[in-house]
Amino acid sequence: MKLFNSQNLLSASLLGLSTLFAGSFPLVKAQSVKNVPFEVCFNSDTFVRPSARERINLIRRNSHRIGTNTTDAEILNDGRWKSDILTFSEYYGASGGGDLILFSGVWSVDGIYKCSDKFAETNSIGRPNPQTQVRLFKYKLKQIKWTNNKYIFVVEPRSKGLQILHYRKTQQHLASKKPFPIVVIDIKGNTLGKCGTVYYCEFQLKK
């Protein structure tokens, strides 16, 4: 019996996606699957988000960043804290970057400011925002594919970890102001999450 490794499964999954998209839009010729290169800015195989109590205490000490009537439950329900993947199509600014570090639970990590600085170099105000930044918690990005005007993120789960990376938007994306969906799949082709907004996505992936 022939055994399939992860690369075999991944190739089969992506082929299946192309077939699926073509079947969904019979009048549109199926596009080829294009690989989108990405650059990892930061990776930790050991990162774990702080406990809920640590998070609440720290944010309370930075109360100027939240409303005075914000409850503990609201603090813990913040999408930046709960999400497995965050994507940014535009630079979030220095203040927004500070909020992101605080509210996503990465304030104890050394070396991630360089990723915000790098993102600002390409996507600062007045620039065409050619890059997208992706932050993955307890997942590692294996591949990005572009097919039928969709980005396909192929991810692999892990018990711990934080990965921050950047990729350049496709020419089709840069030439258009409309949103292009992101679909997250595992290496077997199972869909874990979707997002279709322009600027910012929060993914809480299916387990």
Longest dimension (CA), the chain: 63
CA distances from residue 5 to 1, 15, 92, 138, 186 in whole angstroms, order as listed = 13, 16, 39, 22, 14
pLDDT digits (tens, 9 = 90+) for 135-156: 999 999 999 999 999 999 999 9
Contact of 119 with 166, CB cutoff 8 Å:
yes
Residue 41 domain flag = yes
Residues forming beta bridges with residue 195, ordered by sequence position: 182
Residue 113 domain flag = yes
Q: What is the per-residue pLDDT for 31? A: 60
Its pTM stands at: 0.82
Contact of 146 with 117, CB cutoff 8 Å:
no
Q: Give the structural domain span for 23.
A: 6-203
Contact of 183 with 169, CB cutoff 8 Å:
no
CA distances from residue 29 to 21, 23, 25, 145, 175 in whole angstroms, order as listed = 10, 10, 8, 18, 20
Residue 189 domain flag = yes
The tokens of 89 are what? 């199509």
**Comparison of pLDDT for 96 and 124, the residue scoring more:** 96
Q: What is the per-residue pLDDT for 16? A: 52
The answer, yes or no, to whether residue 188 has pLDDT greater than 90, is yes
The number of distinct structural domains making up the chain is 1
pLDDT digits (tens, 9 = 90+) for 75-103: 999 999 999 999 999 999 888 898 999 99
DSSP H or E run through 60: helix 52-61
Q: What is the per-residue pLDDT for 27? A: 33
Residue 1 domain flag = no
Residue 67 domain flag = yes
The answer, yes or no, to whether residue 28 has pLDDT greater than 50, is no
- Per-residue pLDDT band at 5 (split at 50, 70, 90): low
Query: What's the whole-number average pLDDT of the chain?
Result: 85
Residue 81 domain flag = yes
Residue 193 domain flag = yes
What does residue 38 show for φ and ψ, rounded to 5 degrees? -140, 160
Contact of 91 with 139, CB cutoff 8 Å:
no
The tokens of 149 are what? 């005007």
Residue 55 domain flag = yes
- Per-residue pLDDT band at 115 (split at 50, 70, 90): very high
Q: What is the per-residue pLDDT for 100? A: 92
Q: What is the per-residue pLDDT for 25? A: 34
For residues 11 and 4, give the distance between their C-alpha atoms in angstroms, rounded to a whole number: 11
